[in-house]
Chains A and B, each alone.
Chain A
Amino acid sequence: MIRTVFAAALSVSLAGLAPAFADPAVVMAPGGAGGGYDAMARLPFDAMAKEGIFTDGATFTNKGGAGGTIGLAEFVGANKGNDNAVMSMGVIMVGGILLNNSPVTLDDVTPLVRLSNDTGVIAVATDSPIKTVDDLVAALKADIGAVSISGGSAGGVDHIVMALIAKEAGLDPSKLNYIPYDSGAESVTALGGGAVTLAVSGVSEFKPMADAGRIRIIAVTSEGRFDGIDAPSLKEAGLNVVVGNWRGIVGAPGMSPEGRQMWLDRFAKMHESAAWKETLAKQGWEDAYLSGDDFVAFLGEEKTRIAAILKDVGLVK
């Protein structure tokens, strides 16, 4: 039964037993292993450990589901007043809370920092008659239902981009023919193969396919142009739409002011470090560091903006 013993040992280690460190942080990743929230939970701690900023280690819990709101609920329930507990989160969670009518919200946690951003791109098939943002707006105006759009989950950041474009163009966002896809791979092949007219996704997911000549990017959702992509920003093209898929870290509910300051200092140091810069580059994340009260204010604006647009789309009553 050596195999059984081995399997048991494996399963125990897979279940995530923490090494016995001095005072490890309790870290929640509200998404599955290998996803964006998972990376945003683990990589800052890797960088901090490497730079000697925080070396007590961390125990990670992965708890995905319902746009991250299930992990959020568990984090809030289990860590009240724990200065040592933090969680990764991002713009998808802001929308997820509204979409799922989550009883627990981001008002229940202590916002700490925004760390990264992934700019969105709007792309068409290489042989598409739509070549510019103006063409796109014209096509939407001609027959909004005829423009099929693939992107991430309904009410997610890609859908929000399209809803804001429709609104800017004076159209009803709830009329968009938006088709959610589970993965960027499915979405990009649907676009490249001509199944859909238009696709929205993150730079990191679409740029390789655009470079390979499979699809054509017609706009980016950042403020200005994006390095390495030959397309205007939506703003440059005359639509006042700036959206990013940002991610950050929040602390436990009822974290003490000292605890909050301790984490803000740690993240400030980490942000300056070489290890973190290397992480950003490897992950293809844009640096979007925003700390403390600035992040709180930003979070408030995002909540208002996203709530309004989800209502326009008809996903939130």
Chain B
Amino acid sequence: MSAPGPRPNAGEPNGGGADAGAAVWQRLDVRLIWVDVAQSLLSLVPAAVALVVFRVEPSWGTLGPVAVIGVVGTVGAVADMLRWTFTRYRVTPDRVERRTGVVVRRHRSVRRDRIRSVDATAKLRHRVAGLRIVNIGAGQQSSAGESAFVLDAVRRPEAERLRGALLRTRLGDAPAAPSGATGESVAATETSTAVRPDGAGGVPVEVFARLKPSWVVYNVFNAWAYLMALGLTWGGYWTASMFGLDAAGFVGGLADWDAIGVAWTVVIAVLVVGAVGVVGLAANFFVENWNFELARVPGDDGTLLRTRKGLFTTREVNRDDNRMRGLQISEPVLWRWMGMADTNVVTTGLNLWSLYEPTAILPRGPITVARRVAGRVLGVDPSPLEAPLTRHPRAALRRRLWWATSTAAAVTGVLAWLWLTGVVPAWTLWAGAGLWPLGLLGALVAYRALGHTVAGSYLVVRSGLMSRSTVALRRSAVSTIAIRESWLQRRLGLKTVTAMTSAGWGAYRAGDVAAEDAVAFAADAAPGLLEPFLDRPDPVPGPRRQQAASSP
């Protein structure tokens, strides 16, 4: 092994920051081994209980599942021990490095000034042992779904120390890239009335939102209910049959299903399964979001936006306010009548594809709460997300109707051709024609979602068919501006303005702005960027002429 002087994690009792143990390669915490041993023992318990307590006949049919659980648990634990043996990490003044891998050795190093987020999670077994998994997010690539840097697991004080050390981006660490010199100000952090002193150090913590149990309503009505119900029913049936209960017979005996008829049986089944799913989703919502709290807490360099939630697995995500570029509120179209909304931050260095949604700062909930919290998080009054938006011209609707019509016509045409050659039956033609009214409806919905404006230092765009999302993006965060015009758009007098940024989805579009307003809007969206290239009605002897000599 190439690690110079590997030593067990000593926990750095002085807490003197990363520099104290700078160049020393450290192991993950040794308690991980005990957790693994415990896990493999625990995974054998079901088999033991079945054998000893219930005296089940040992055969593949009865013991197979519990045997699989035991084997998976044990193999997982052994693999984890191997991983522990071969993993080292260290924090040097300018980078974080990790070596891992048994067969394929990986050495990853991340520049500290590229680190965007550090968050600590813990599964139940980690919490019992006082361990934390540290996820380090770095660079703009992670917003495209690239994996972060994971330390699984270190002791809790070590996790706290790492977070403190790594989120502190001092200017001295990176003389080549002084952050904050881009002309971006730190997100507004005026503390409002809800300031309470934190128990630890008397530092103010601004709490924006806590869990409201009524939000559960917004989280139970969706298609996942049926998937959840199927999982639960299958699991329940399975457990029951393992202990000799005949669940199918029990349900069959509840009513005279033959007398009720197939149609009603299906209706009852759908309703019952849906109800089971709703209950399951509700329970899941509370397990995931128990003790939810969104707060702005002081960090070593500026402030952090922190969410904390979870009943068994506590998940805490800290987002550096210096990395925040805006907010997004999206409203799923089918549930807009009940005001359902998701709230996400637009920030650099967070993985948008992660299952844990680190960009979500609120559980799915009412739009009124989302708007209020968004305004307070941005610290701007009035909130740019509530600013009145400029509607797009009628021509934008015509363009959408044209596309819906031509798409339906093309599909129907192809189907007609296939029908004539005898490939598909005649009724598919009707399916193709049925696309047309659907498409027209979609065009109308999509058109009504369109809107854009510039509100203070924020650029606001709204669009979306299935999910109408409103994004407020800091104008100083816009890097590239693109204006697009297709042949049809030119005929209709429309242009699409896109603002590219390093945060969030990378590009935010104001689709089909009136052509005569597009350039002015684009110039407003990225202050100063387009100035030299503007063709104003009253000719300004601008900087363009002076730059003539310097161009190649």
Does chain A bind chain B?
no
Q: A residues touching B (Cβ–Cβ < 8 Å)?
A: none
